[in-house]
Structure 1
Amino acid sequence: MGEVRFVGACGTVTGSCTLLRWGGFRLLVDCGLYQGDEETEALNWQPFPFAAREIDAVVLTHAHLDHCGLLPKLASEGFTGPVHASRPTRALASLVLRDAAELQEEEARFARKKGYSRHAEPRALFGPRDAKRALALFEPLPFEQEREVAPGISIRLHRAGHLLGAASVEVSAKGSDGKRRRWLFSGDVGRYDVPILRDPVPPAAVPAAVLLESTYGNRLHAPEPPVEGLRTVIARTFARGGSVVIPAFALGRTQ
């Protein structure tokens, strides 16, 4: 029988990580960085609730740091299995993980220089060498192509919208009764009709269970982006000779 353990994104939005066990096989769906306030980010320093070297494989839904940002830490602690991801996710992860590693080391140097760390010798959570080690483990997987990751266990990526390369992950496994069961890990799901992204693609077969992200599960958004409202604010500000600052995430939201 299979067992699912929610490792991250529990009680907080970031740090997505789910452990699926089936027999002796251990698969991580995402391995994300905790982001937010100081208390939340301190969770990144906590030990994994499993031995990194005992994880057989990782499959990534997409390249946002809260879904892939702890891969360098996982690799530095002994994980050597494959990281399955779409080809665009591999390309974006190369950028964001290297950048995150540089920022981690820069923050450690700054803390050491200014002396504001609670530690005598501030250190980075991970560095460029760890990011390089993690990136070497990636094995690109085309959308809608099934890949066997262990005897009787397969994965398949379905487009999820949200971000270039983002996927929902379908895991199928054959039980002791010979029947095949399917689970769908949604990842972050985007909208239809986004000009720069392909539409989400639901799985052809109905899964036994869907593990669904629910960041906006308790609210309704307008069907269309508020472009006119934004245009009005910008025009009014420019007319007064002012400047407009739009804080937006660099990867995905800005585009």
Structure 2
Amino acid sequence: MAGYRCPFSPLTNVDVSLQFLGAAHCVTGSKYLLTLAEPAGRELILIDCGLFQGLKEVRLRNREALPLTPADVGIVILTHAHIDHSGYLPKLVRDGFRGRIFCTEPTADLLSIMLLDSAKLQEEEAIFANKKGYSRHHPAEPLYTQADVQRMLPLVESVAYDAPLVLLNGALTFTFREAGHILGSASVELAVHGKQQRKQLVFSGDLGRYDNPLMPDPATISHADVLQVETTYGDLDARVEDPEGEVARVVNQAIER
């Protein structure tokens, strides 16, 4: 459920919670808020920061305030450059975010192209809305501008695949793994280190298919205590008479392995 807070067993001295701010009950707007809290303070981490796209009632959610203060977010980790996973970043910066943005090098290259294009389209849409007078805002304003994108880009840091990055004085480690979706796409293996325990969360991002002649196969993830997985290729046209039974069969088959 969008906005549902999902706590799991806390680590020693570190309380961890996961909140879905998008891509729940809809396809777009991927934003997952990971909060690490300890007696000394807390750290807010966003996994992806995408725009809602599609029908107007869905796109209007981009104008709603997030249930957080952008300036309080310290880290954003991007799985890939598609706008429904990255397109809210300039708005986050416009509203006060000054933290670090991590992604793969190809994703960093794509961001400058795609987000400047996104901003240009929004600027043009605002001009057209003012000309035709159909906006509920007077005057109509873009969600963000090309100038906001230019302020955002210096915050981006590229990280190689399969190269663990240690953050927050050792409390957090994350690693990008090949996702095979588009150029630069990655799944995120994220480990939270408590005083006596270590828990691993995996965010799949959008996954590609195996044996794709243009993209590498998705990497195999060996372990996860918590798995957040997408369903881009959910095979909506499949004719399954008993879908719940089929899911149970596949899950049981995987467990037996």
Candidates 6, 12, 17, aligned match of 2:31 = 17
Report whether the alignment pairs 1:212 with 2:226. Answer: no
Post-superposition offset of 1:202: 1.9
From 129, 132, 153, give the equivalent of 2:147.
129
Structure 2 residue aligned with 1:105: 123
Q: Which residue of 2 aligns with 1:69?
A: 87
Q: TM-score, normalised by structure 1?
A: 0.83
CA distance, structure 2, for counterparts of residue 38 and residue 18 of structure 1:
22
Contact 2:179 2:187 in 1 (8 A): yes
Identity of aligned residues (%): 41
- Of 220, 231, 242, the residue aligned with 1:202 is 220
The CA distance in 2 between the partners of 1:59 and 1:5, in whole Å, is 15
TM superposition shift of 1:48? 1.1
Root-mean-square deviation (CA, aligned residues, Å) is: 1.5
Name the structure 1 match of 2:110.
92
Give 3-state SS (helix, strand or coil) of 2:35's partner.
Answer: strand
Q: Is the 8 A contact 2:207 2:232 kept in 1?
A: no
Shift of 1:199: 1.5
Task: Quote the Cα distance in structure 1 between the aligned partners of 2:116 and 2:161.
Answer: 25
- TM-score, reference length from structure 2: 0.82
Matched residue SS, 1:66 = helix
Q: Higher strand fraction: Structure 1 or Structure 2?
A: 2
1:171 corresponds to 2:185: no
Give the Cα separation in 2 of the matches to 1:51 and 1:117: 26
**In 1, are the aligned partners of 2:90 and 2:148 still within 8 Å (CA)?**
yes
Equivalent positions of 1:19-98 (< 5 A) are 19-23=33-37, 24-98=42-116
User: How does 1:203-242 map onto structure 2 within 5 Å?
Assistant: 203=221, 205-217=222-234, 219=236
**Deviations 1:31-83 (Å, cap 9, x if unpaired)?**
00000011000000000110000001000000000000000000111111110
> Structure 2: where are the runs of 5+ without partners?
1-14, 239-257
Q: How many residues align?
A: 220
Alpha-carbon distance in structure 2 between the residues aligned to 1:60 and 1:18: 10
